[in-house]
Amino acid sequence: MTLKASITHRGAVLLGKHVTCDAHEDSRPLRVVTHAHYDHLTGLDKSLRKCQAVIMTPATRDLLAAIRGPLFPFVGNVQALNYGETFTHVDERLTLHHADHILGAAQVLVEDKEGARIVYTGDFRMSDTPILEADVLVVEATYGSPFQVRPFQKFVKDALISLVESALKTGPVYIFGYHGKLQEVMQILASNHVNVPFIAPEKIFQISKICERHGMRLGKVLSTIGDEAREIVERDETYVAFYHMNSKRHVAKDAFRVCVSGREFGYPRRQIAPNEHLVALSDHSDFKDLLRYVRESKPKMVITDNYRVGEAKVLAREIEKRLGIPAKALPQ
C-alpha cells in the first residue's frame, strides 16, 4: 500500500492528502487539534491564519479559550466537531473519535476515495478508548518500551485517595500535575467523598469550570484570587490545592505535596522526599496497551510518533517483532 500517512520534522502528523494533525503544515488545508496539551498545539497560530478549517472537539475549543484567551475561537476558522460527526473535504472524510486522555481528546480517522482507513490515535489511555480498525495507523509512543508497564494500574486511584485522606488529617495537601490530569484528580477525590474545598490558581480554576460544563464532577473548586479561598488558606483550614507541575519549585515547599505522573512503573505511589509523594496516575497507555491497540486495529502499516517525547523507535521494533506488522518511527 502507498504510504498514506507521515510525520514531519516539525511534528505534523499527515493523514491522507488534506489533513495535518497537531502541528502546522503549509501544504494542508485542514488542521486537527487532537487535544489541548502544548506539544499538540505546534504552529496553531499559523494554522488559524492559513488553514481553511482548524478542527477540534467542542471541549478542546473551550479549553483552548481558557488557556489562550476568550477570543481564541474567533481568530480563525475553528470548526467544532463532535465525536462521530464527519467533515468532508474534496474526496476525503474526516471523523473524530473519543480518546481517553484529557477532556476533549480525540482520535482522527481519515477515509479516502479508495476506501483506505488512516487513523491517528493522538495521546490515549486504553481503559476507555475505542479501538479503530485501520489500514495505516499512526500511534503515540510515550511509553513504548517493554520496560514501561504498570501491572499495578488498578490500584493507583485507591493509593491516591488513601494518601490524600491520611495527609488531610494533619493539614492542607498540595497536588501538582498538568492541565486535564489535575481535573481528573479532583473528580477522583470528589467522587470518593473527599469533601474539602479544592483551591486552584485562576487559570486552573477556569479550566475546571469548563470541565464541569462538559460533564465532569469536581467538587467545590475555589480560585486563589477569591475571598473565600484566601480566608481558608489564612486560617490554615483543611483543603486540597491544585497547581501546575511547572509551579512545583516555588509553591508550598513545606506543605504535604503530591505529584501525579505517569513516569512511574515500580509502585502505585512512592515517597520521593520527606513531605512529598509521587502517584503513578497516567493519562497515557503503557507498552502492553499500545501493543493491544495495534494488534486489534489490524493495520497493514504502523507509524510510531518519533517527534514527541517517547520510545517510538523501540515501539516500532517491538511491533514488527511481536506482531509481524511493518512499522517505522517517524520522523527519522
Q: How sure is the predictor about 224, in pLDDT bands with cuts at 50, 70 and 90? A: very high
Task: Output the pLDDT for position 60.
Answer: 97
Angle at 42 between CA 119 and CA 311, to 5 degrees: 60
For the cut 80, the answer to whether the pLDDT of residue 73 exceeds it is no
Instruction: Tell me the average pLDDT across 154-180.
Output: 96
Task: Output the pLDDT for position 222.
Answer: 98
pTM: predicted TM-score of the whole model, two decimal places: 0.95
Task: Output the pLDDT for position 69.
Answer: 83
| Inter-residue contact 182 to 242 (CB < 8 Å) | yes
Instruction: Tell me the average pLDDT across 315-324.
Output: 98
Percent of the chain with pLDDT over 70: 99
Residues in the chain: 332
Instruction: Tell me the average pLDDT across 14-37.
Output: 97
For the cut 60, the answer to whether the pLDDT of residue 1 exceeds it is no
Instruction: Tell me the average pLDDT across 215-239.
Output: 95
C-alpha grid cell, residue 53: 478549517
Task: Output the pLDDT for position 227.
Answer: 96
Task: Output the pLDDT for position 3.
Answer: 82
As assigned by CATH, the class of the 5-148+284-330 domain is alpha beta
Exposure class string for 245-260: b at 16+ Cβ within 10 A, else e? beebeeebeeebbbbb
C-alpha grid cell, residue 268: 502505585
- 81: helix, strand or coil: coil
Q: How many angstroms separate the most distant Cα atoms in the chain? A: 66
Which run of H or of E encompasses 207? helix 202-213
Determine the residue type at 190.
Answer: A
- 296: helix, strand or coil: helix
Topology classification of domain 153-279: Rossmann fold (3.40.50)
| Inter-residue contact 270 to 174 (CB < 8 Å) | no
C-alpha grid cell, residue 64: 483552548
Q: What is the pLDDT of residues 28-49, one digit of tens each?
A: 999 999 999 999 999 999 999 9
Task: Output the pLDDT for position 2.
Answer: 66
Q: Which of 1-10, 70-79, 201-210 has the lowest mean pLDDT?
A: 70-79
DSSP secondary structure letter of residue 298: -
Instruction: Tell me the average pLDDT across 224-250.
Output: 95
Task: Output the pLDDT for position 202.
Answer: 96
Nearest to 43 by CA among 79, 5, 9: 9
Report CA-CA distances (Å) from 276 to 29, 74, 282.
47, 42, 18
Mean pLDDT of the chain: 96
Measured distance CA(313)–CA(331) in Å, rounded: 10
The bridge status of strand 92-98 relative to strand 86-89 is: antiparallel
Nearest to 11 by CA among 49, 63, 46: 46
Q: What is the pLDDT of residues 105-162, one digit of tens each?
A: 999 999 999 999 999 999 999 989 999 999 999 999 999 999 999 999 999 999 999 9
Instruction: Tell me the average pLDDT across 200-218.
Output: 96
| Inter-residue contact 21 to 120 (CB < 8 Å) | yes
Domain ranges of the chain: 5-148+284-330, 153-279
C-alpha grid cell, residue 89: 473535504
Task: Output the pLDDT for position 193.
Answer: 95
Task: Output the pLDDT for position 268.
Answer: 97
CB-count burial class (<10 Å; 0-12, 13-18, 19+) for 100: middle
Measured distance CA(273)–CA(284) in Å, rounded: 25
Instruction: Tell me the average pLDDT across 79-100.
Output: 97
Nearest to 103 by CA among 220, 218, 23, 215: 215
For the cut 90, the answer to whether the pLDDT of residue 68 exceeds it is no
Nearest to 177 by CA among 50, 280, 55: 280
Measured distance CA(66)–CA(289) in Å, rounded: 32
Angle at 289 between CA 269 and CA 15, to 5 degrees: 125
Which run of H or of E encompasses 48? helix 44-50
Determine the residue type at 251.
Answer: V
For the cut 80, the answer to whether the pLDDT of residue 262 exceeds it is yes
Measured distance CA(135)–CA(297) in Å, rounded: 8
- 231: helix, strand or coil: helix
